[in-house]
Amino acid sequence: MLSKEVQLEVNKGAMLPLMEEFYTIQGEGFHTGTAAYFVRIGGCDVGCHWCDVKESWNAALHPPTSVDLIVANASKYAETVVVTGGEPLMWDMTLLTQMLKDNQRKVHVETSGAYDLTGTWDWICLSPKKNKLPTKTVYDKAHELKVIIFNKHDFIFAEEQAELVNDDAILFLQPEWSKKEEMTPLIVDYVMNNPKWRVSLQTHKYLNIP
């Protein structure tokens, strides 16, 4: 149970439930292959059955951490900081992103879009989930739409989401890791027949890096 004082800091985004932070190579989507500092925020109620970071779901397991410390750590390593989760937009991202921008960092977010957008972002990667669909604020601002393909029906879902996202968003299809042998050939064929889409792979897993 958080103290009243800490809870107030969390509520205004001055402290966030930090699960982990690390410097690595971006493995997915538009910025694949580029160096970035990842800040993983705990807490998610979207509940994807194939989530590979289920330990992030319970925010209470991850200690509230001052955004000053998060920004100081991130600024030591990379020009680009990726805020991920969990679902980072469960929390107010205004202060974190402003402080990162004040430190001349490029700030990216990876989100399901299930919550309204807060914060100032250089790049928004929207990865929508069927069980809790994105808000209009994220559809309207997303730079990248990345749909995870677990089964054939997900191609239908991907097209539905492409209709809702803004016209400038870059469209990606990515095989769910446990189904990659089955789904990757289907994605390749789909993209060749529907070239508005691009293929995204979890290259960090092939490289065996975080």
118-133 pLDDT, tens digit per residue, is 999 999 999 999 999 9
Give the CATH number for residue 39.
3.20.20.70
Q: How many CB atoms lie within 10 A of CB 67?
A: 22
Mean pLDDT of 139-158: 98
Instruction: Tell me what percent of the residues of the chain surpass a pLDDT of 90.
Output: 93
Looking up tokens 């679902």 gives 87
The token duo for 17 is 């439930």
Q: List the one residue out of 116, 117, 111, 50 whose CA is nearest residue 86.
A: 111
Annotated ligand binding at 141? The verdict is no
pLDDT tens by residue, 83-105: 999 999 999 999 999 999 999 99
50 is in an annotated binding site: yes
Q: Binding site annotation covers 51?
A: yes
* Model pLDDT, residue 74: 96
Both structure tokens of 199: 């293929």
Structural domain that includes position 114: 4-206
C-alpha to C-alpha distance for 208 and 210, rounded to whole angstroms: 7
Q: Has 104 been labeled as part of a binding site?
A: no
The reply, when asked if residue 25 is annotated as ligand binding, is yes
Is residue 25 predicted with pLDDT exceeding 80? yes
125 annotated ligand binder:
no
Bridge partners, 106 (sequence order): 80
Q: What is d(CA 193, CA 190) in angstroms, rounded to the nearest whole number?
A: 5
Q: Is 195 annotated as a binding residue?
A: no
Q: Which long-range contacts (CB under 8 A, 24 or more apart) does 8-13 make?
A: 9/64, 9/66, 10/64, 10/91, 11/92, 12/92, 12/95, 13/67, 13/91, 13/92, 13/93, 13/94, 13/95, 13/96, 13/118
pLDDT tier for residue 69 given thresholds of 50, 70 and 90: very high
84, amino acid identity: T
Which residue has tokens 């020009």?
79
Is 27 annotated in some ligand binding site? yes
How many other CB atoms are found less than 10 A from the CB of residue 161?
A: 24
- To the nearest whole number, what is the mean pLDDT of the chain? 96
pLDDT at 52: 82
Asked if residue 127 belongs to a known ligand binding site, the reply is yes
Query: Which of 2-16, 116-130, 183-197 is predicted with the least confidence, judged by mean pLDDT?
Result: 2-16
Task: Say whether 52 counts as a known binding-site residue.
Answer: yes
As a whole number, mean pLDDT of residues 28-34 equals: 98
The whole-number pLDDT of residue 61 equals 93
Q: Report whether 40 belongs to an annotated binding site.
A: yes
Which pLDDT band holds residue 44 (cuts at 50, 70, 90)? very high
105 assigned ligand-binding residue: no
Containing 207, the helix (H) or strand (E) segment is: helix 203-207
Is the predicted pLDDT of residue 49 greater than 90, yes or no?
no
129 among annotated binding-site residues: yes
The domain total for the chain is: 1
